Structure 1
Amino acid sequence: MQGNDILSSQPAWLDEAELAGIRSKMPLIYVEAVPVRIDHLGRVERVGLLLTPQADGRLARAIVSGRVLYGERVRDALWRHLSKDLGPDSDPQIPADPSPFTVVEYFPDDRSGFTDPRQHAVSLVFLVPISGEVAPSESSLAFSWLTVEEACSITIASEMSGGQDRIIRMAMAHAGVLP
């Protein structure tokens, strides 16, 4: 049975009550992706950020993020979330052997500097070049390509939540372009 066949033959979605119960008992695994445009030498030129509505009604900038489903490979979860959030024509360039550039732990409190009031989550974070046309979908309102300097600015950091501004700076440092 192929990987996608396994996923389609097993229920993978939880209703809100089941998800809340699991979130209260154990950490969940997430993938996060910092979308980037790169030049012909692989240097990051632009950073892509979503504009999303928050539970409290305000708007925030965000990177691509989502849960890894039971039986789903990490690369498939990355592809699913990138395609869902950036649109089917975004053409994410996921490497043959994806490895996160960092691992981040989110907690309901501020013990790690990364917060998610809903849960304890362990997130594998990737830097993913995007070569196609982006059309944000699902719950995102807009998508913007920013220069590295803009993406790392205090202004953009103030528009992000949960510590994702720190992830942007970590990604740019990993790519060797932190301003």
Structure 2
Amino acid sequence: MSSLRTPDPNPGWLSEYALEETRTRVPILYVEAVPARVDGNGQIEHVGVLLRGSATTAGQITRTLVSGRVLHGESIRDALLRNIEKDLGPAAFPRLPVSPVPFTVAEYFPLPGISPLHDPRQHAVALVYVVPVTGECNPRQDALELTWLTPKEALEPSLLADLEGGRGQLLKQALAWSGALI
């Protein structure tokens, strides 16, 4: 005999309490994206950096990249699309890579000093991508603004230092990986 249950309206999401509890015990999987405007040859002309309220320090405004959790049962590709749309709007028109292989894997630790990447809330692992976008980007949800920077502007030490949790290192790696530092 099977029991009848009301389907979960948000499958794949944990309650805030369950998420907080899980974060203390298990690494959480994320995707992060460096939005890019590219020329006809695929060379990066500009990268996008978000301005938003800090995820880790209440009342602080910081710069960051597109990022978000991968939900239970969600493909990496779908997680990338969902989080890009969440942060940049539905008309960003991202061109996702054919293969879901990231340019790097970032590991954030809750204790500072273990790695350059730090998130006091949790141990997190992020698959990081450079994603060209061709449409109109309008920050949504908790993103206040999207700033497009040339590769040279993106490498300014003050900007890199403003990126939350050590993400300045990821931005530098993205530019190097894509050949934009030549």
Give the match for residue 160 of structure 1: 163
RMSD of aligned alpha carbons? 1.4
Structure 2 letter corresponding to 1:52: R
Give the secondary-structure state (helix, strand or coil) at the position aligned to 2:79.
helix
Deviation at 1:61, TM superposition (A): 0.9
Give the match for residue 175 of structure 1: 178
1:144-155 to 2 correspondence within 5 Å? 144-155=147-158
Give the match for residue 68 of structure 1: 70
For residues 93 and 36 of structure 1, the distance between their equivalents in structure 2, rounded to whole angstroms, comes to: 10
Q: Which runs of 4+ in 1 moved over 2 A?
A: none
Q: State the Cα deviation string for residues 14-49 of structure 1 (Å, max 9, x = none).
A: 111100110011101000000000000000110101
For residues 123 and 162 of structure 1, the distance between their equivalents in structure 2, rounded to whole angstroms, comes to: 12
What TM-score do the two structures reach when normalised by structure 1? 0.92
**Structure 2, unpaired ranges of 5+:** 1-7
Alignment partner of 1:81 is 2:80: no
For residues 12 and 103 of structure 1, the distance between their equivalents in structure 2, rounded to whole angstroms, comes to: 22
Give the match for residue 117 of structure 1: 120
Q: State the Cα deviation string for residues 34-91 of structure 1 (Å, max 9, x = none).
A: 0000000000110101100123312111100100000000000000000110000000
1:121-136 to 2 correspondence within 5 Å? 121-136=124-139
What TM-score do the two structures reach when normalised by structure 2? 0.91
Deviation at 1:152, TM superposition (A): 1.3
Give the match for residue 3 of structure 2: none
Give the match for residue 30 of structure 1: 30
Give the match for residue 51 of structure 1: 51
Sequence identity of aligned pairs in percent? 46
Number of residue pairs matched by the alignment: 172
Structure with greater Cα Rg: 2
Q: State the Cα deviation string for residues 98-141 of structure 1 (Å, max 9, x = none).
A: 21000010001120110000000010000000100000001011
Give the secondary-structure state (helix, strand or coil) at the position aligned to 1:163.
helix
